[in-house]
Structure 1
């Protein structure tokens, strides 16, 4: 229904279909076998033991068990949060660490509702005290290094678990962010960042948390002191080697971009801030391609610092594909965040997932995480929150309809005129070849890499991470297409080549049809591209048969946004075909498919998109008139009209947002007018 809106990544509260979603546990962790019976009561009783070892054992056991979502209710019913909370300040550092780990996993695997409940149960009070104690401990100088080294690392271990718990809560609960601001916990995160030279894991955790709390947090960002910005910039410019450091700098770049994007500050910092950050992000982008020519193993070893004794020769190939970076640029990175879909899974403490010797896996995991974040940041750079003047003008279809925004969060469809990027951002995107680098990451992960990862349980988690990077790249491409002029993207020839590439992604891999995240990202990008090509009368390369296949796949998809994108693609292509000769048969295929969806789909947003596409396809032209007569479009729409109107009146207010209802009401009015138009054609033909 209108132009495809670009995407933005931010802290989610609702799923693609408009319903509350729970924060899923880390997708890349293999689920344990479901427990037949949960010994929750016994373990919670052991938390009260006078023996520190027993308390630590109980916390560790709970930490493992709550990774199985089906046992979480049994712990919550017995006040697990109130039992674990006081142990964050236990006299034993080991108990503190395992208690924080248990709460961390509970928050990650329990979802939004559990996180909100944890905040309501005041878990942030002992957590804040713990974090402040850890921050103070960072400043203490050990008198006897040999005796206190272990304790020092334990304090940092406690801090790491606590920061991850804080990250999960702030990612899922706005009240947690409010408490974060009032408690001044930013200072704690900054102290953790200062430990990066000897504990990069803690610094990365703090950067993740900072990345979460800066999202839409004007209270925090509006009061940032110059010293804070200088510290973050120093982390960003730190050229320490290793993928974890790249991940750290990527996350900091995202936080800085958010800080400099505050409306009342952005213009004053545009020249230095945007250009500087984009330059670093772009250089990292050049080093983060998953696919490409296989690099020499010695170069990979030199670039990453990994040992030569990888598991086997095939594993070397995996690392080459995952880490095809160049030695001059490996210290740079990019970062980004996608649309109004979940930004990322919350952080979970997985016991024994990565052993200390798994350096290669840790490096690969950090690299892919940095790539994902990089793409998400670029997505947000090319995203606008506010409707343009053209948008508002386009939204009013008649005087009978109230002007309202077409922000169809459920279907992902919105009217949107081309974005007006700042000159600095636009120039930097082009100067650093960001569109080309993003395009390279939209390719499917190498089959060789996937095959090798499948052979190892530990390495198998990389497959989903590579796929997620591809999806983020497709979403990034969607926003770039929506925000840049055709000439800046290479002109008509470049767009045709891109259309062929996206068509191969969407139509060339049948096995991905069940991967909803991929379908959502790919169809969004394809829809945006086809809109641009249609507006410029650039020939398209999608056959009617491919369109029918896409329509069938979308019909089977549970995601509303995928179905909406597929219908929009049918409408765009059909309206183009209507201007061509000998297109009656193709238009009939498209028309029948759209009528089927408009009549049968249970979601009114999808039905509305199908009707809107029908209006576009059969609006004008002799070919369209003939096709409309052949499929008996007029009587079909006459029969559908009262059903659509009654369904809108009956279901609308309770199921759809005000913005969606506004758009659907416009479609109701346009349906009546379109029927009148078809009737006039019928009278003319009869005369």
Structure 2
């Protein structure tokens, strides 16, 4: 697996009662959307700052319902809100920034692109600069329910940084402007506020992790002072889960900036990063959720004894209702298991802490995945390039794309040592287990906690993906030897065959098949006996090929091919090899993805390339004749679809498969002749 860059759902929590009342009821948005948008956009032009603020807050609430966003875009909401980022009234600035933040978050990549096209970056950068000059002052101080002052400049900066994070993640032009305007200096300054404003620091850390990824142009802007700020965060004491999340995100930024770290300090930096990741992964999320729910219950009982029971109960109910409200049209689900911590009222501190932990664990696992990966095909490194088979078509496509061939898997000594010293493989394995039943039951019984179920599953999926990369990168001795691999095989077998809570989701199948594939490949390469029986492998592969995810289907054919190639070296295996051969032939002939078809053909080459049992099975299933029928269609699809649908790396591999298919058909002709002569 490669890098995971998930979008997240982080709407602003500010939703005045009036704005809520203005929102159309479900099913009425399409009809009323245009009128509603026009009315609110007119109010943005009012001479009254209160009216402008009200309109911004209303838009902020309404655009959380994704279906109304087109109506606002048609009325040019971005150009209407943009100037208000520099409004004379600070409250208008804050609510305008909140509306744009929600628009960019709920609208997704396409809306972010539209915002950049409509020049949102000009007022956004200007606002960020103004925030920079006022980060240490309390302009227009306000009070919250506990009469604690807040810094409005920091609140505005928080919204601004979130918008930047969204648009820079989506749009290369926005990222280029971010680089050119040296916005990183101001975002780093926002990060430095972590001792007093964790929310702002976390937003800054998310933004930094995004803008520093694969952005060499930005490296020159990262000076010693910026690196020192990052180090200060990493070395700070973490007293709660929000701080641990912050440190995890900063660790990801440091990894992205590792080329700016002096060589003499790199080992220490990598060790510090992995120490933080290990601490985060050491937490048992299920037990932590149980602990937090118990703490919430105690707090509410205490509130009841203080004659605040009614208010506390209302807060809990509001949290549940608000959570359901904000999932209109599956907005949260569409955002790839997004961080919903911003949706949780501040009063629900225990729920927020549980959410912070799960997001931190997901981020930590994604970071380990990126540490242990190379630049491979996006459809899950389904076959390495053969240097002797690079054809003219492959080289021509590489020149056209100015691309490079895949780099080999490699792991620096510093990373290798740190992974083992902090027991990362063991901690990753622990996270592959199914979520705690008791924690799941708590989440099912309390609607405000239900989103944590998806988060727990996401952690498991990331851990399985991470396990795949670790198996691919570390040698057997580092993993604990053959016995540990045998135990791991048994563990994965239990995972994939004992799930009882309904059909397996695509995310689980992709991650689990990826881990099984890496394990079986490692065991086969070292001659370690396979623990999964051929029947188990076939059953799992048949489930995987039903997935709509091409990577899952690639893993399925690879797993089958590995098992078949091991069987081909044994005795009395022809019958099983026939089943495997027919399974792979069906996929090679019928799968809509060339990558999957090519993977199936490649697996056939591995299974039937040698051995008496393989030759016997090949003749009995008429492998030669079937492949001759598949060959023209496969070549035609490469010619018609290759350049448009597939990357340089994928096309190179497909071209190799095409070449090897021709050679393999010739080989099968000799096998058939041999068998005919023996009859």
Which TM-score bucket, shorter chain as reference?
Answer: 0.7 to 0.9
Which is worse superposed, 454-463 or 537-546?
537-546
Match of 1:196 among 175, 194, 201: 194
Shift of 1:359: 0.4
**1:54 is the counterpart of 2:51:** yes
Counterpart in 2 of 1:547?
Answer: 537
Structure-2 change in CA distance of 1:296 and 1:275 (3 Å): closer
Taking the TM superposition and a 5 Å limit, the aligned residue runs for 1:553-568 are 553-568=543-558
Partner of 1:275: 271
Alignment check: 8 A CA contact 1:289 1:440 kept? no
Query: 1:568, 1:609 within 8 Å by CA — same for their partners in 2?
Result: yes
2:16 corresponding residue in structure 1: none
- Give per-residue Cα distances to partners, 1:642-677, cap 9 Å, x unaligned: 222222223323322333222212111111111111
Q: State the alpha-carbon separation in 2 of the partners of residues 372 and 617 from structure 1.
A: 37
Report what 2:430 is aligned to: 440
Matching residue within 101, 114, 120 for 1:117: 114
Correspondence for 1:16:
none
In 2, Cα distance between the equivalents of 1:54 and 1:668? Answer: 67
Deviations 1:301-342, CA, capped at 9 Å, x for gaps: 79x997833699xxxxxxxxxxxxxxxxxxxxxxxxxxxxx9
* Distance 1:416-1:562 versus aligned 2 partners, 3 A rule: farther
Q: How far apart in 2 are the matches of 1:452 and 1:144?
A: 39
Give distance in 2, aligned partners of 1:146 and 1:168: 29
**Counterpart contact for 2:241–2:357, Cα < 8 Å:** yes
For the Cα contact (< 8 Å) 2:517–2:555, is it kept in 1? yes
Residue 447 of structure 1, CA deviation: 2.3
Any idea what SS the aligned residue of 1:531 has? helix
Instruction: Provide the C-alpha distance between the structure 2 equivalents of 1:84 and 1:43, rounded to a whole number of angstroms.
Output: 11
The reply to whether residue 497 of structure 1 matches residue 487 of structure 2 is yes
Unaligned stretches of 5+ in structure 2? 14-24, 303-333, 399-404
Give distance in 2, aligned partners of 1:405 and 1:245. Answer: 50
Q: CA deviation at 1:594?
A: 0.7
Q: 1:551: how far off?
A: 2.8
Q: Aligned to 2:214, what secondary structure does the other structure show?
A: coil
**Secondary structure, aligned partner of 1:539:** coil
Q: CA deviation at 1:269?
A: 2.9
**Higher RCO, 1 vs 2 (CA within 8 Å, ≥6 residues apart):** 1
Distance across 2 between alignment mates of 1:269 and 1:197 = 25
SS class of match (2:619) = helix
User: Is residue 2:75 matched to residue 1:78?
Assistant: yes
Return the alpha-carbon distance in structure 1 between the equivalents of residues 142 and 545 of structure 2: 65
Q: Deviations over 1:516-558 (max 9, x none)?
A: 2222111111111111111111111222332333233222211
Between the aligned partners of 1:281 and 1:296, the Cα distance in structure 2 is 19
SS across alignment from 2:106: helix
Supply the distance in 2 between the matched residues of 1:458 and 1:523 (Cα, whole angstroms). 32
Q: Distance in 1 between matches of 2:500 and 2:636?
A: 38
Cα pair distance change 1:106/1:347, threshold 3 Å: farther
The structure-2 alpha-carbon separation of the partners of 1:544 and 1:510, relative to structure 1 and needing over 3 Å to count, comes to farther
Question: Which residue is 2:233 aligned to?
Answer: 235
State whether residues 404 and 659 of structure 1, in contact with CA within 8 Å, keep that contact through their aligned partners in structure 2: no
Which stretch shows the higher mean deviation, 509-518 or 454-463?
509-518
Unmatched runs of 5 consecutive residues or more in structure 1? 1-6, 13-22, 313-341, 408-413
CA distance in 2, matches of 1:93, 1:174: 30
2:470 and 2:640 mapped to 1: Cα distance? 39
Cα deviation for residue 638 of structure 1 reads: 1.4
Alignment partner of 1:8 out of 2, 6, 27: 2
Question: SS of the residue aligned with 2:237?
Answer: coil
Answering whether residue 156 of structure 2 is matched by residue 158 of structure 1, we say yes
Alignment of structure 1 residues 244-323 onto 2, 5 Å: 244-261=242-259, 267-286=263-282, 288-291=283-286, 308-309=298-299
Q: Are 2:143 and 2:149, in contact at CA under 8 Å, matched by a contact in 1?
A: no
CA contact (8 A) 1:47 1:54 kept: yes
Deviation of 1:403 (Å): 6.5
Q: Which moved more, 1:132-141 or 1:635-644?
A: 132-141
* Contact 1:97/1:161 (<8 A) preserved: yes
1:159-238 alignment runs, 5 A limit: 159-238=157-236
Deviation (angstroms), 1:228: 1.4
Which runs of structure 2 are paired with 1:259-408 in the superposition (5 Å)?
Answer: 259-261=257-259, 267-286=263-282, 288-291=283-286, 308-309=298-299, 353-385=343-375, 395-398=386-389
